[in-house]
Amino acid sequence: MPESVLSSSRPRVLSGMRPTGKLHLGNYMGALANWVKLQDQYECYFFIADWHALTTDYADPSRLKLNTLDVALDWLAAGLDPEKSTIFIQSHVPQHAELHLLFSMITPLGWLERVPSYKEQQENLTGKDLSTYGFLGYPLLQAADILLYQAHFVPVGQDQVAHVELTREVARRFNSMYKSRSISGAPVFREPEALLTPSPRLPGTDGRKMSKSYGNTIGLTEDPKIVAQKVESMFTNGQRPRQTDLGDPDQCPVGDLHKVFSSAAIIAETQIACRTAKISCRDCKALAAKSASDQVAPIHARRNELESNERAVWDRLRADSAKAFLAAEKVLNEAKAFVGLSREYDGPSYISMGAVSSMGGNPHEIRMGWLASPSLRDFPLKEEDPHRFASIERFLEEPLITASKKRVLVTAADPLASELRFEIPAKSYEVWVLLVLDLHSGEISDFILPQKVFSQQFAQAKKSLKKDERIPVMIRKDVDRFLMSIHDSEPIDITELQSNYEPLK
């Protein structure tokens, strides 16, 4: 695994945005502009939260992929740098969903119901049915998003602090609940800190918080003419119904727009002119619209360049998603091990066959695991892919080849049968590995038989059977001995060959 995935000398920051289409000025000033600055100070992970988008827009996901690409284009145009940050798509890293599921098992329902935005959005988004678990549980998915990358900090505004606190509570509960399973005593999850970032007040055209859900946004890369039209229609908080009326720009949403985008000279000019009725609201709005368009003009131009090669942008998202996958898998596997879901099992129902091959000079094992009674179905291979699974049936047709080029048959007996019977293909093998499960103790007995033990009787059995017919082999226990018969031949004592891995070397 690349070192850059595992560690960094800088603290890690993680944040994300839902893909609801092209970004608006509120997205930019509220988060994105700050993210661009954070890249030089922190190790940053920024993700497009497409699963989160479904919490409110599940009924019509037709534009979800296009919206995801739109967000990526805006992020890159605004200055997020793939050479400095990992920029990825949430649903391309399935560990987010798996960790969310684990957290859902331990999180009290009341914790989710008390999140302030839960009731707030239900009250404001009356046109959508939000009576779903996805909507109730989205703060828990956020917790999984954050904890999966062991983020030190989460950049948020004051209104999002409650989400970070819930994440800390979930981490604390998980660590406390399963601490007895930790060998080192160290917790699985780091409790992240909220990184409060300056976020200027930037209201929408109706005076409320700028949000697509409210239909009051001004696009980050919208044409200046459209920006001017939207600003001209802006709510002014009931001030100056007549041009001769005195105003207070500190109580007007247009005044807030000036404070964010206008130069100090224009801010001072409009402050005085509004209070003395020396400027009309229309002219004041026109100045604000021009200031906003001028400031984001470079972003607009960069976005047009990126749109000429959208395939390259998508390919970069996929590459960074693969990088995020590696980082997430490491943490998820640790969490799964704490709750007993590890793929790497080393309990009594597993046996080690010893070193059968090597990679890079280091021997690695094959472990046999009893995954589903009544038969041994699969076992993991510790090869270049630690999560590869191969079936027993595979080795009946394609033998395992050891480092010394020996062909090895691996097969198992049905533990529910009255006799321990195996069916061996009429093929040439240097070693047989015969596995037997004791249903009472749960232990597996393994018999490693070199060719000299079975070759003579095996050859005789092949002659008496039809071509390609499998040869029956039986093992029975006689007091403290194990006896094997090949197609009704005289029994062979194989007691000394139990768990003797010498033939595999």
What are the DSSP calls for 259-285, one per residue?
A: HHHS-HHHHHHHHHHHHTT-S-HHHHH
Task: Output the pLDDT for position 324.
Answer: 94
Mean pLDDT over the full length of the chain: 82
- What would the DSSP string read from start to end of 167-217? HHHHHHHHHHHTGGG-SS---SS---EEEE------B-TTSSB--GGGT--
Task: Output the pLDDT for position 155.
Answer: 95
Cβ distance 42 to 77 under 8 Å? no
Cβ distance 125 to 362 under 8 Å? no
Q: 223 phi and psi, to 5 degrees?
A: -60, 140
Architecture in CATH for domain 221-301:
Orthogonal Bundle (1.10)
Closest CA to 105 of 50, 144, 53, 49: 144
What are the C-alpha distances in Å from 156 to residues 30, 55, 56, 199? 9, 20, 21, 9
pLDDT tens series, the chain, 505 aa: 333 333 457 999 999 999 999 999 999 999 999 999 999 999 999 999 999 999 988 999 999 999 999 999 999 999 999 999 999 999 999 999 999 999 999 999 999 999 887 877 877 777 788 889 999 999 999 999 999 999 999 999 888 899 999 999 999 999 999 876 665 567 889 999 999 877 788 899 998 889 887 889 999 999 999 999 999 999 888 888 888 889 999 999 999 999 999 999 999 999 999 999 999 999 999 999 999 999 999 999 999 999 999 999 999 999 999 999 989 998 998 899 888 886 654 433 333 332 222 222 222 223 333 222 222 233 333 333 333 333 344 445 566 777 677 888 888 776 655 568 888 888 888 989 888 766 555 566 788 899 999 999 998 888 888 777 888 999 888 888 889 999 888 899 999 998 887 887 7
- To 10 degrees, the CA torsion angle through 410, 416, 421, 425? -40
Cβ distance 254 to 231 under 8 Å? yes
For residue 252, the surrounding DSSP H or E stretch is none
Task: Output the pLDDT for position 98.
Answer: 96
Residues with Cβ within 8 Å of residue 394, at least 6 apart in sequence: none
pTM over 0.75: no
Task: Output the pLDDT for position 126.
Answer: 77
Report how far residue 468's alpha carbon sits from residue 472's, in angstroms, rounded to the nearest whole number: 13
Token pair recorded at residue 418: 């009255």
Q: Where are the domains of the chain?
A: 3-203+309-336, 221-301, 350-504
Task: Output the pLDDT for position 185.
Answer: 65
Token pair recorded at residue 104: 């859902």
Task: Output the pLDDT for position 129.
Answer: 86
Cβ distance 484 to 456 under 8 Å? no
3-203+309-336 maps to CATH 3.30.160.270: no
Neighbours of 178 (CB within 10 A): 17
What are the C-alpha distances in Å from 411 to residues 333, 404, 407, 505? 29, 20, 13, 19
Type of residue at 497: L
Task: Output the pLDDT for position 437.
Answer: 65
Task: Output the pLDDT for position 97.
Answer: 97
